[in-house]
Structure 1
Amino acid sequence: MKPLKAFTIPFVGLKVGEHHFEYDIKQSFFEHFEYEEFNNSNLKVDLILNKKSTLLELNFKTSGTVNVNCDLTNEPYDQEIENNFDLVVKFGEEYNDENIDILIIPHGEYEINIQQYIYELIVLAVPNKLIHPGVEDGTLDSEILNKLEELSPKTAEYKENQEEIDPRWNTLKKLLTDK
């Protein structure tokens, strides 16, 4: 996958100290990764890069909304997400990203690409189960919800059916409880 230039930070020319970067993440960013779970996205990523003499500290914070489909009704809605992530970049003999929050890059490197970290930060912030807020508070009117309600067993009808059971079974049930 070709790295996006907007997410490449040339840190070699930066002074020691904190540097702020802001990124607006739209749907085209996820299309680059061929990720099709979002209908649309409107996210903001704030990055604070703290350059020190021997390492870099990166603090990612993301917030915004992604438009996704509800798992129950398949109705699209905007899911709010918020997440943060800290990454330490050290210099070593060879590239090593085996540790989650430590990245080791070769001594001669002069820039770092952060697109993969932003992508993972956003995708992992989305809840596993996506439920439309209208389903939870009962305000969503959907054909699928109406059909589910129609096909679900009614508690009053269920109790009436229980009362219509042959009385001989009730006496057998007493045998179980009369011990």
Structure 2
Amino acid sequence: MKDLKEFTIPFVGLKLGKHQFNFELKKAFFEHFEYDEFNDAAINLDVLLEKMSTLLEFTLTYNGTVNVACDTTNEPFDQEVDGEYKFVVKFGDEYNDENEDLLILSHGSYEVNIQQYIFESIVLAMPSRKVHPGVKDGTLKSDILDKLEELSPKDLDEQSEPEDDNTDPRWDSLKKLLTDK
């Protein structure tokens, strides 16, 4: 996958200390990763880079909304997403990104691309079940909800039919065995 240039941070020219970067994430960012769960996105991302002599410490703070389809009704709605993710960049003999909170760049590297960390932290911050707020509070009117209500199992009181007093006479003789002791 090709790196997006705006998420490549050259750290060689930066002084030791904290540096702030701001990004606006739209739907195109997620389409780059071939992720089609979001209909639209409007997320503000603040990246805090703390440069130290032997390592770089990144803090990604994001908040905004993504338009997703409800898992129950398939109606689109805006889901709020916010969170924070921290990871460390160290330097070693060879590139290694096996650890999710530690990225090892080879000595002599002068820039780091953080797009994968941004993508993963936002996607993992999404709730596992996306439910339209109208479904939760009962204000959403939709054909799917009406059909689900129609097909849902009813209470036992509603389902049970009044018992019929006319039973099969063969069972009556068996019932006598239970009472004749």
TM-score, L = length of structure 2: 0.88
Q: Secondary structure at the residue paired with 2:116?
A: helix
CA distance in 2, matches of 1:30, 1:20: 23
Match of 2:163 in 1: 165
The one-letter code sitting in structure 1 at the alignment partner of 2:3 is P
Deviations 1:125-159 (A, max 9, x none): 1111111010010000011001111222443xx42
Corresponding pairs, count: 169
CA distance in 1, matches of 2:118, 2:135: 30
CA distance in 1, matches of 2:92, 2:158: 74
Distance 1:163 1:147, change over 3 A: closer
Match of 1:151 in 2: 151
1:124 offset after TM fit, Å? 0.6
Distance 1:161 1:2, change over 3 A: closer
CA distance in 2, matches of 1:15, 1:27: 33
Deviations 1:106-133 (A, max 9, x none): 0110000001110101111111111101
Match of 2:9 in 1: 9
CA distance in 2, matches of 1:99, 1:34: 23
1:166 offset after TM fit, Å? 4.0
Aligned positions of 1:65-144 closer than 5 A: 65-144=65-144
CA distance in 1, matches of 2:43, 2:10: 23
Distance 1:44 1:161, change over 3 A: closer
Q: Secondary structure at the residue paired with 2:88?
A: strand
1:98 offset after TM fit, Å? 1.4
CA distance in 2, matches of 1:152, 1:116: 42
Distance 1:45 1:164, change over 3 A: same
CA distance in 2, matches of 1:118, 1:160: 51
Runs of 4+ displaced beyond 3 Å: 166-169
Distance 1:127 1:160, change over 3 A: closer
TM-score, L = length of structure 1: 0.89
Distance 1:127 1:91, change over 3 A: same
In terms of Rg, which structure is larger? 2
CA distance in 2, matches of 1:147, 1:132: 17
Q: Secondary structure at the residue paired with 1:47?
A: strand
1:165 offset after TM fit, Å? 2.8
1:31 offset after TM fit, Å? 1.1
1:97 offset after TM fit, Å? 1.1
CA RMSD of aligned residues (A): 1.7
CA distance in 2, matches of 1:164, 1:144: 32
Q: Secondary structure at the residue paired with 2:41?
A: strand
Distance 1:139 1:44, change over 3 A: same
- Confirm whether residue 40 of structure 1 aligns to residue 49 of structure 2: no
Structure 2, unaligned runs of 5 or more: none
The one-letter code sitting in structure 1 at the alignment partner of 2:87 is L
CA distance in 1, matches of 2:153, 2:68: 30
